[in-house]
C-alpha cells in the first residue's frame, strides 16, 4: 500500500509540486538560518547555549511536523513513528563508529596524530547539543523536503542523485572547499544520509548519523568539519600527507578513505532498501 505522502506528491499537478518543493526549501532554510543564528549569538554560558540549541532543534522539528502535516494533510510518520527514537540511537552509533574508523585508518600511516588532550565536559555537551541543531536543520531540508518529495514524485534513484549533489555542493563556499571536496561530501554523506532515510523511511536515522558525524569529527577528534575549525576540541590533532588521502585543509571529509567508507555504508543501506521494497511488492 502506498503511503499518503506518496499519493499526495504524485496526485498534485507538477506546477503545484514545484511550488511546494521550492517553497519548502526556502521555508526550512529560513528556519535553519534563524535557529542557528539564535544558538550562535547566545553568550551567557554553556548551560544556556545547550538549552537554546536543544530548544531550537525541537522547535524546528515541531514546525516541520505542523507545516508538512497541514500542507499534505497527513500524519508526519517520518518524524512521529514509534521507531523514531531507536533509529536516532542507531544513527548516533553509526556516526560514531564511522568517524572512529576514519580516524583509525588515517592514524595507521601517520596522517592523523593526536598531539594533546583537554577534557571539558560542559564544552563537549555544548558542542554536542549545537550539532543536534545542525543535523536537524540540514536533514529537514535535504532529506525531509528535497529527497522525500523527489522520491515520492518519481523514484529513489532520482532522489539520491539530486539530494546528494545539492548537499555536496552546498559546502562549496566553505573554507578550503574545492570541487573534489564537494563531490566527496555528495558521495560519502549525501548518498549515505539519503540511503539511510530511504531504508528506514524515517528522518531520525540520518539525523543521528549526521549529528554524531559532525560531533566526532570536530569537537572530539579535533579535525576540521567541512573546512571549519572549532575552538574547543577534546583531542588536539595534526593532519599531514597528500590532501587526497588526508583531506588537507578541508578535513577528513575530503579524504578518499572517508569517501570509500561512506560509499560502503551507503551501499549497505541501499541493499536493505531494495530487500524491503522487494518484500513489500511480493506481499
Round the average pLDDT of the chain to a whole number and report it: 93
> pLDDT band at 282, cuts 50/70/90?
low
Q: How far is Cα 213 from Cα 26, in angstroms, rounded to an integer?
A: 25
Q: How far is Cα 148 from Cα 146, in angstroms, rounded to an integer?
A: 6
Q: State pLDDT tens for residues 57-83.
A: 999 999 999 999 999 999 999 999 888
CB 260 within 8 A of CB 105: no
pLDDT above 70 covers a percentage of the chain that reads 97
Domain coverage including residue 73: 4-282
Supply the DSSP string of 113-155, one letter for each residue.
Answer: EEEEE---HHHHHHHHHHHHHHHHHHHIIIIIIIIHHHHHHS-
Q: State pLDDT tens for residues 92-114.
A: 999 999 999 999 999 999 999 99
**Calculated CA dihedral for residues 140, 144, 150, 153, nearest 10 degrees:** -150
Report the domain count for the chain: 1
- Other beta carbons within 10 angstroms of residue 235's beta carbon come to 18
**What grid cell was written down for 219?**
569537537
CB 216 within 8 A of CB 95: yes
Q: State pLDDT tens for residues 134-190.
A: 999 999 999 999 999 999 999 999 999 999 999 999 999 999 999 999 999 999 999
Q: State pLDDT tens for residues 2-17.
A: 456 778 888 899 999 9
- Tell me: pLDDT of 244 over 90: yes
CB 18 within 8 A of CB 150: no
Range in 41-45, 59-63, 116-120, 217-221 the model is least confident about: 41-45
Residues with Cβ within 8 Å of residue 56, at least 6 apart in sequence: 35, 36, 38, 39, 133
Amino acid at each position: 500500500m502506498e503511503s499518503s505522502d506518496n499519493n499526495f506528491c504524485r496526485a498534485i499537478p507538477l506546477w503545484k509540486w514545484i511550488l511546494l518543493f521550492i517553497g519548502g526549501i526556502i521555508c526550512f532554510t529560513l528556519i535553519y538560518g534563524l535557529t542557528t543564528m539564535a544558538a550562535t549569538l547566545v553568550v551567557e554560558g554553556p548551560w544556556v547555549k545547550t538549552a537554546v540549541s536543544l530548544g531550537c532543534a525541537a522547535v524546528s522539528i515541531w514546525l516541520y511536523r505542523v507545516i508538512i502535516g497541514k500542507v499534505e494533510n497527513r500524519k508526519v510518520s517520518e518524524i512521529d513513528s514509534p521507531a523514531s527514537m531507536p533509529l536516532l540511537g542507531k544513527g548516533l552509533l553509526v556516526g560514531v563508529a564511522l568517524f572512529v574508523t576514519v580516524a583509525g585508518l588515517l592514524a595507521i600511516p601517520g596522517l592523523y596524530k593526536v598531539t594533546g588532550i583537554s577534557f571539558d565536559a560542559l564544552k563537549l555537551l555544548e558542542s554536542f547539543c549545537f550539532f543536534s541543531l545542525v543535523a536537524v536543520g540540514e536533514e529537514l531540508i535535504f532529506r525531509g523536503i528535497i529527497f522525500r518529495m523527489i522520491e515520492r514524485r518519481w523514484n529513489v534513484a532520482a532522489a539520491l542523485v539530486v539530494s546528494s549533489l545539492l548537499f555536496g555542493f552546498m559546502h562549496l563556499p566553505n573554507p578550503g572547499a574545492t570541487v573534489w571536496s564537494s563531490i566527496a561530501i555528495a558521495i560519502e554523506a549525501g548518498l549515505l544520509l539519503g540511503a539511510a532515510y530511504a531504508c528506514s523511511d524515517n528522518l531520525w536515522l540520518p539525523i543521528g548519523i549526521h549529528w554524531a558525524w559532525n560531533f566526532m569529527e570536530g569537537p572530539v577528534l579535533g579535525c576540521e568539519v567541512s573546512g571549519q575549525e572549532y575552538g574547543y576540541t577534546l583531542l588536539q590533532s595534526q593532519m599531514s600527507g597528500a590532501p587526497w588521502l588526508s583531506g588537507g585543509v578541508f578535513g577528513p571529509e575530503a579524504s578518499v578513505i572517508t569517501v570509500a567508507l561512506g560509499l560502503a555504508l551507503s551501499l549497505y543501506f541501499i541493499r536493505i532498501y531494495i530487500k524491503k521494497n522487494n518484500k513489500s511488492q511480493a506481499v
